[in-house]
Chain A
Amino acid sequence: MIRKVRTHPTQNEPLLFEISRPGKRAYQLPELDVPPVDPEAVLGPENVRPDLEGLPELSEVEVVRHFTRLSTHNYAVDHGLYPLGSCTMKYNPRLNEALAQLDGLAWPHPYQPEETVQGALEILARLEAALAEITGMDAVTLQPAAGAHGELTGLLMIRAALTERGNPRQKVLIPDSAHGTNPATATMAGYVAETVPSNAQGMVDLGALERQVDESVAALMLTTPNTLGVFEQNIRQIAEILHAKGAMLYMDGANMNALLGIARPGDFGVDAVHLNLHKTFSTPHGGGGPGAGPVAVKKHLEPYLPVPRLVKTEAGWKWDFHRPRSIGRVRAFYGNFLVAVRALAYIMAMGPEGLRQATLDAILNARYLRQKLEPYYELPHKAPTMHEFVLSDARQATNGVRTMDIAKRLLDYGFYAYTVSFPLIVRGAMMIEPTETESKQELDLFVEAMRAIAEEAQRDPELVRTAPHTTRVGRVDEVTAARRPILRWTPDLPRE
Chain B
Amino acid sequence: MLAECGLRSMEELVAHLPPEIRLERPLALEPARSEYEIAAEFRNWAQQNQVNGPCFLGAGVYRHFRPVVVQALVSRAEFFTTYTPYQAEVSQGTLATIFEFQTLMCQLTGMDVANASMYDGSTAMAEAALMARRLTRRDKLVVSSAVHPEYRAVLRTYSAGQGVPVIEVPYDPEAGWTQQDSLAQVVDRDTAAVIVQSPNFFGVIEPLEYCAELVHQAGALLIVTFTEAVSLGLLRPPADADIVAGELQSFATTPSYGGPFAGVIATREQFVRQLPGRLVGMTRDVHGRRAFCLTLVSREQHIRREKATSNICTNQALVALMATIFLSVYGRRGLRELALQNLAKAHYLATKLPPRFRGPFFNEFVTRAPGGDPNRLNRRLLEHGIIGGLPLGRFYPELSDCWLLCATEVCRREEIDRLVELVSQP
Contact = CB atoms under 8 A, between A and B. Distances in A.
Nearest to B404: A111
Nearest to A472: B92
Interface stretch (B151-159, B180-188, B418-426): B151-159
Nearest to B151: A332
Contacts of B345: 34
Contact of A27 (B27, B67, B286, B313): B67
A43 B205 contact: yes
Nearest to A100: B256
Contacts of B16: 231, 233, 384
Nearest to B332: A55
A438 to B, nearest CB: 11
B87 A25 contact: no
B305 A184 contact: yes
Given A106-B254, A287-B80, A352 B90 contact: no
Interface string A23-47: 0111101101111110100111011
A165 to B, nearest CB: 16
A190 B306 contact: no
A402 interface: no
A134 B209 CA distance: 53
Contact of B4 (A35, A43, A335, A368): A368
Interface residues of B, number: 191
Contact of A107 (B59, B63, B314, B409): B63
A112 B344 CA distance: 24
A27 B334 contact: yes
Nearest to B20: A236
The 9 lowest CB-CB distance pairs between A and B, nearest first, are A104-B46, A333-B258, A351-B32, A286-B318, A119-B48, A288-B317, A119-B45, A290-B260, A110-B258
Interface stretch (A208-216, A339-347, A392-400, A448-456): A339-347
A339 B253 CA distance: 13
A485 B382 contact: no
B331 A98 contact: no
B302 to A, nearest CB: 4
Interface residues of A, number: 193
A48 interface: yes
A334 B258 contact: yes
Interface string A46-74: 11110111111110100110111011111
B330 interface: yes
B81 A78 contact: yes
A278 B315 CA distance: 12
A351 B26 CA distance: 10
Residue among A185, A386, A411 with max Cβ neighbours from chain B (10 Å): A185
A89 B83 contact: yes
Interface string A318-333: 0000000001111111
Given A332-B120, A352-B28, 6 more contacts: A56-B327, A76-B81, A106-B254, A107-B255, A184-B304, A331-B123
A148 interface: yes
Given A89-B83, A146-B312, A468-B89, A35 B255 contact: no
A130 B102 contact: no
B21 A180 contact: no
A407 interface: yes
B270 interface: no
B287 to A, nearest CB: 5
A377 interface: no
Interface in B284-308: 284-287, 289-298, 300-308
B280 interface: yes
A299 interface: no
A53 B332 contact: yes
B5 A371 contact: yes
B274 interface: no
Contacts of A243: none
Nearest to A101: B71
A315 interface: no
A37 B59 CA distance: 22
A197 B295 CA distance: 30
A445 interface: no
Interface in B29-50: 29-33, 35, 38-39, 41-50
Contacts of B43: 102, 104
B336 A71 contact: no
Contact of A180 (B7, B308, B314): B308
Contact of A119 (B44, B150, B344): B44
Contact of A477 (B78, B286, B310): B286
Given A334-B257, A411-B90, A371 B4 contact: yes
Given A148-B311, A338-B260, A351-B29, A113 B23 contact: no
12 contacts: A26-B69, A32-B344, A44-B360, A101-B71, A105-B257, A110-B255, A133-B27, A149-B119, A287-B85, A289-B319, A474-B286, A489-B282
B89 A330 contact: no
A75 B23 CA distance: 38
A1 interface: no
Nearest to A471: B89
Interface string A457-475: 0000000001010011111
A109 interface: yes
B325 A67 contact: yes
Interface stretch (B137-145, B214-222, B233-241): B233-241
A478 B293 contact: yes
Contact of A104 (B48, B108, B258, B416): B48
A480 B7 CA distance: 49
A347 B302 contact: no
B335 interface: yes
Nearest to A34: B348
Given A25-B333, A29-B409, A496 B123 contact: no
A372 B6 CA distance: 12
Nearest to A387: B13
A66 B78 contact: no
A333 B77 CA distance: 28
Nearest to B297: A482
Contact of A39 (B234, B295, B318, B331): B234
Given A364-B13, A473-B89, A489 B286 contact: no
Residue among A51, A67, A75, A123 with max Cβ neighbours from chain B (10 Å): A67
Contacts of B362: 43
B333 A57 contact: yes
A82 interface: yes
A21 to B, nearest CB: 11
A336 B303 CA distance: 27
A347 B63 CA distance: 30
B100 A16 contact: yes
A200 interface: no
Interface string B174-212: 000000000000000000000000000000010001000
A147 B284 CA distance: 33
Contact of A348 (B38, B71, B348): B38
A164 interface: no
A284 interface: yes
A78 B78 contact: yes
B285 A488 contact: no
Nearest to B158: A188
B76 A267 contact: no
Nearest to A234: B18
Contact of B257 (A120, A155, A188): A120
B104 interface: yes
B302 A180 contact: yes
A440 interface: yes
Contacts of A256: none
Residue among A136, A187, A286, A371 with max Cβ neighbours from chain B (10 Å): A286
A473 B45 contact: no
A408 B161 contact: no
Interface in A99-156: 99, 101-113, 116-120, 122-123, 130, 133-134, 136, 145-149, 151-152, 155-156
B81 to A, nearest CB: 4
B343 interface: yes
B363 to A, nearest CB: 11
A306 B55 CA distance: 28
